[in-house]
A and B are shown apart, each in its own frame.
Chain A
Amino acid sequence: MTLTTKRYIVAALSFLFLASLLVVAYHESKRHRAEERPGPVVTAANRGCVDCHRKDGPALVMEWEHSRHAQYGVGCVDCHAAEKGEMDAWSHEGTTVSALVTPKDCARCHAREYEQFSRSHHARAGEILASLDNVLAEKAAGMPGNIADAVNGCWQCHGAIVKFKRDAQGGILRAGKESKPVIDPDTWPNSGMGRLNPDGSKGSCHACHSRHAFEAKLSRSPENCGKCHMGPDHPQIEIYNESKHGIAFYANRDRMALDREKEWVLGRDYSAAPTCATCHISSYMTPQGIAVANSHDVGERISWTLRPVISTKLNLVIYEDGFKEDYPDTRALPKVGDQAQTVEKVVENEKLISKTVPRKVARVVTWEDRRKGMKGVCLNCHNDTYVDNFYKQYDDLVVLYNEKFARPAQQVMDDLTADGVLNPKAPFEHNVQWVFYELWHHEGRRARHGASMMGPDYTHWHGMYEVAKHFYTKFLPEVVEIAATKGPALRQKYEQKVRQLLAQDAHVWQKGLKPEEAEALRKMYRERYNQ
């Protein structure tokens, strides 16, 4: 090998060496970018709690350590500290604490979110306690002395009124060496969304923001909402799972930036799919390039109410003190500055009562405004023709349900009550009442929800099909039957009513299809199934 050759080889080898050093440099820079997650900070005030509870409930402490609260040094005492004299407070190892952390406690730091949440339907979820649903749980399924169905069922989603055990004088019972107030075991544990707390606040933040890690990625995930928003009467999670939105989510979960701290904006931080939070709460980008702030008032972008027998559009009246009231479009809207007598449900003496509070109207938001808020989310992925046409499809379904089935059925039920056939004090006495209940509360809702969130199977087979089938094959015959129990005159009256109903355009198909339609039907089955 000549000297020159050797020198070329050295040159080649040194460039190879250089290349390897560049890989080293790349490695080094990548290593730097992965910043270590800051560890938990235990302050002096929390040291005692953490040291003891690390043995007595270690997983709870570990979850807290994993939270962002811990990164900032926000610990046990910061949330669980209570004032002496509060109903649920007692002195524990030298500190006055309360096990119950209510939205008011969270509001110490999260004031904005509390402001929005406390005015929302989520906070009011516990107000169903005087509804038919509660009657079913407490009376139909439960019995005197044991309303475990309500306790384990309804209240765990909707929230319970948190109560205490009382002594003979009505004071709160205290037990144990710490004189801890004895909570009514039927009402705690309870993380229901609309829990009615002893401090007067409504709701429970940790219904969505599970403690003690309070992970954003849990709250943003659809499964979180699915704990309550599921089932025969409001299968939102099932509909979401059926829909393309849900499919897109589950296929792209790792692209959803669910863990992103602070802001989580559709159209900026993620794009793969919407979750429940995306449409109903979270931030999204507008064409102006601004991110609309998120809002914990889940009703802000809702234009229809799909809950009642007959759906209505929802306007919103906001009062000066922030109190919000949904106004169905059948109700005349007040003007800004008007005085109104608002009805509010509050807990007094551990009972839910209605209170009339005079308030002044500060703002009126129409259902169109609310829908615009929702459309803003849609427009991140879909164009306006798409969105507007969707809303027409959806509106039409709700109107179909309303006009063909809900209104006539409600009318008949009202007539039966007026005629003394049904006793308003006995809502589930007769079969027809159950059938009607499920017609609007179960399949009727499924149909409407299915249309609202693009779940075609829920809209039709679990929805309108069952509405139609039960309406024709169960409800109408039951109406006649129950009327008949009160005498032949009423039977005739209701048979007439049913006949008149079925003669309408919408229902006349029952008599028979047109000859062309029937022939087409027969032909289709012959060709497809050879039958």
Chain B
Amino acid sequence: MTPVERAGQEAGLRGRLRALFPFDWELLRHAGAEPVPYHLKKWWFCLGGTVLYLFIVQVVTGIALTFYYVPSPAQAYESVAAITREVRFGWYIRSLHKWSANFMIVAVFLHMLRVYFTGAYRHPRQLNWCIGFLLLGTTLTFGFTGYSLVYEQLSFWGATVACNLAAAVPLAGPYIGYFLRGGPEVGENTLTRFFILHIGVLPTVTFILLGLHVLLIRLHGVTELQFEGEEAPEGERHFRFWPEHATTELMIGVLLMYLLTVVALVFPAGLGEQADPTRTPEHIKPEWYFYFNFRLLKLTSLQLSVVLTGAIGAIAFLWPFIEEWLSRRFRMPDEAPVIVGVLGFLGFLVLTVWECFAA
């Protein structure tokens, strides 16, 4: 029986209403009845949900901010100032948006580390790793474009540097640079483009990728793991997504709101000098999540840093396949991926901290 027929069977008002929207609600119940493996009771495994929650916060606060933000070089800064100083709770919504962005990027990094070190990227979940890596890309691009919209000195000049970096990519570079800037140099078109990327293109891409990411998790099921020495007690191998796991996610969500509010109160989003295209500040620094890249740029050259970043990025993106190929070719000890991961993370950390404390 088709859902329409099934609905048509019901008598009275209920039946008539059902016929308007003959969706099989049983399907949802089934989707939500995912059995969650025992190890997800550990907090480390809630990082993915954390990222999702923070993304929702970003979408909501972002839409709110769009009501007042004006994406033109003449008015951008003033509109952000107006939000911060005049609009009721403007400073709060803006600070939430800023801090949620930072928290989200941290959470994405931690989530990736967790996935990596628990080997959850391995067959058949390689595709999900790639999608996740793309999501890292969109998250960082969100951060970059969002920060540029404020049109402070650092926004403007940071955008200039980043566009120059993009333009330095071999072969496609100049086109990428032109596309990002909307012209030969950073100007009016650039701001509009960044705005559209930030509120239109990136959210759409992210939604699609996120959808695929969650779908794949549901299709594959969560990776079953057992930690050494830890055995799930009998009868507790799996627990329900709803209401148990959902409540856990709710705890995290409310905790995050509380933490975000506290940080917004203590460190509200401020406003630097307005962008002045005629005056380059002495020290241009990107946001902290690009420090590793910036330090790399300073240690090598424009071309080399772009190539290196691209190469490392490609390896990271294709890691599940690379690891598989390597383990088939050579006899790799179990610790090998762990060492690679630790080294990679340490490298990132060192470069970031170095740049942080540099002049």
A and B physically associate: yes
In the complex, the number of residue pairs spanning A and B with C-beta atoms less than 8 Å apart equals 44
Q: Which of B71-89 contact A (CB under 8 A)?
A: 88-89
Given A3-B243, A16-B258, are A24 and B264 also a contact pair (CB < 8 Å)?
yes
CB distance from A14 to the nearest CB of B (A): 5
Decide yes or no: A20 and B261 within 8 Å by CB, A10-B254, A13-B255 being known contacts: yes
Known contacts A3-B244, A17-B257, A28-B92; is A10 also within 8 Å of B251 by CB?
yes
A165 shortest CB reach to chain B, Å: 52
Find chain A residues with CB under 8 A from B89 CB. Answer: 24, 28
Q: Does B247 contact A (CB under 8 A)?
A: yes
A17 to B261, CA, bound (A): 8
Query: Does A21 sit within 8 A of B, measured CB to CB?
Result: yes
Number of interface residues of A (CB under 8 A): 18
Residues on the B chain within 8 Å of A21, using CB: 261
Interface residues on B, range: 10 to 19
Q: List A6-48 residues whose CB lies under 8 Å from chain B.
A: 6-7, 9-10, 13-14, 16-17, 20-21, 23-24, 27-28, 31-32
* Closest beta carbon of chain A to B269's beta carbon, Å: 13
B31 within 8 Å of A (CB atoms):
no
A-contacting residues, B24-43, CB 8 Å? 41
Which residues from B are CB-within-8-Å of A3? 243-244, 247
Asked if B251 and A13 sit within 8 Å, CB to CB, the answer is yes
Compute how far the CA of A367 lies from the CA of B92 in the bound complex, rounded to whole angstroms.
64
Query: Complex Cα distance A16/B255, Å?
Result: 9
Whether A10 contacts B247 by the Cβ 8 Å rule is: yes
A17 CA to B88 CA in the complex, in Å?
19
Instruction: Assess whether B311 is interfacial by the CB under 8 Å rule.
Output: no
Q: Which of A14, A23, A32 has the most CB of B within 10 A?
A: A14
Residue interface bits B238-273, CB-to-A below 8 A is 1, else 0: 000001100110110011011001101100000000
State how many angstroms separate the Cβ of B303 from the closest Cβ of chain A: 48
How far is B265's CA from A24's CA once the two chains are assembled, in angstroms?
Answer: 7
B50 to chain A, nearest CB (A): 14
User: A6-B244, A10-B247 are contacts. A24–B92 as well, Cβ < 8 Å?
Assistant: yes
The answer to whether B265 and A9 have CB atoms under 8 Å apart is: no
CB neighbours of B261 from chain A (8 A) = 17, 20-21, 23-24
Q: How many Å from the CB of B225 to the closest CB on chain A?
A: 19
Q: Closest CB-CB distance, B103 to chain A, in whole Å?
A: 15
Chain B residues closer than 8 Å to A10, beta-carbon distance: 247, 250-251, 254
14 more contacts with CB within 8 A, not counting A21-B261, A28-B89, are: A1-B41, A3-B243, A3-B247, A6-B244, A13-B251, A13-B258, A17-B258, A17-B261, A20-B261, A24-B92, A24-B264, A27-B92, A28-B92, A31-B91
B residues at A contact (CB < 8 Å): 41, 88-89, 91-92, 243-244, 247-248, 250-251, 254-255, 257-258, 261-262, 264-265
3 pairs of A and B residues whose beta carbons are closest in the complex: A20-B261, A13-B254, A17-B258
A-B contacts, 7 of them at CB < 8 A, read A1-B41, A3-B243, A17-B254, A17-B258, A23-B261, A24-B261, A28-B89
Point out residues on A near B: beta carbons under 8 Å: 1, 3, 6-7, 9-10, 13-14, 16-17, 20-21, 23-24, 27-28, 31-32
